[in-house]
Structure 1
Amino acid sequence: MNLQLLDVLVPKGINTYKKKHSKAICQGVLFVVREKAHFANGQVKGYILTSKESLLEDAGAISHFTPNVYRFGTYSD
């Protein structure tokens, strides 16, 4: 997967690069999972990404991600 492909799949809504230690407001979030089984029983076991750079870095470990960008996301146990 490369950045040009991500620009087609997710054209707007998330940052291109990580904003480490930045006070900038995040544009949006994507939800990702490592296995399709993590969608089972109506509960998703995954994590949140805020940049295309993070998506590219984790691409080898991710099986699915939401192509829709959400304004925010939260974690729960």
Structure 2
Amino acid sequence: MADYTTETVTTTVHRWIVPAAQPWGAAGGEIDKAWDAARRAYWASKGVPDGGPLPDDALRFHATDDAIVISFTTEGAR
């Protein structure tokens, strides 16, 4: 008889996309709003009250050709 287990993990990427049209780039106020929304969503995903600890690597920022993307990933067994 085989002795092993199996699992399937679903990964969800949460993204906030702030337009950064050339030549002006992204507006600081829009980055701030998206960052705040991403923080709140991260806390909610972890069951932490707003204003709780936020690990340094919780949110990722990526610059694309025409946007700044803030993201985090969650995983769950299916």
TM over 0.5: no
Q: Which has the higher strand share?
A: 2
Q: Which has the larger radius of gyration?
A: 2
Higher relative contact order (CA 8 A, sep 6+): 2
Q: TM-score range by the shorter chain?
A: under 0.3
TM-score, normalised on structure 2? Answer: 0.24
